[in-house]
Amino acid sequence: MRHKETWGLILLVVADSLSTYWFITRGYATEFNPIMDWFIQLSWGAFFAVKFLTLGMAVGLAEWYRRRNPQFVRRWLRFGAVAYLTLWIGGALLSSLWAR
């Protein structure tokens, strides 16, 4: 994986996961996504496992399909990164307001 879009998405998900752990364990926020909140209630291990398994499947599929249509994958990974960042920031802001 030498593509910047792939690494950008990986870094976003890792940063989101670690910041989620940090903010929630310190009481600054709650999980915005009810499905991921359910996994947190099970355990942090379940939360991280689901996060990284989902990421691994998405990146694996994108890298596999990149050989057939690199422009399509590049555009969709960029779109996905922007959408993820937007939801992350929006969710963090709303969650921090609700946690107060």
**pLDDT per residue over 32-80, tens digit each?**
889 999 999 999 999 999 999 999 999 999 999 999 999 999 999 999 9
* Residue 93: closest CA among 10, 15, 19: 19
CA distance 13 to 51: 8
CA distance 66 to 72: 8
For 41-97, give the DSSP string. HH-HHHHHHHHHHHHHHHHHHHHHHHTT-HHHHHHHHHHHHHHHHHHHHHHHHHHHH
Residue 94 predicted with pLDDT over 90? no
Selected residue with higher pLDDT from 3 and 18: 18
pTM of the model: 0.84
Q: Which domain holds residue 23?
A: 4-99
Question: What domain count does the chain have?
Answer: 1
**pLDDT per residue over 13-23, tens digit each?**
999 999 999 98
Selected residue with higher pLDDT from 93 and 60: 60
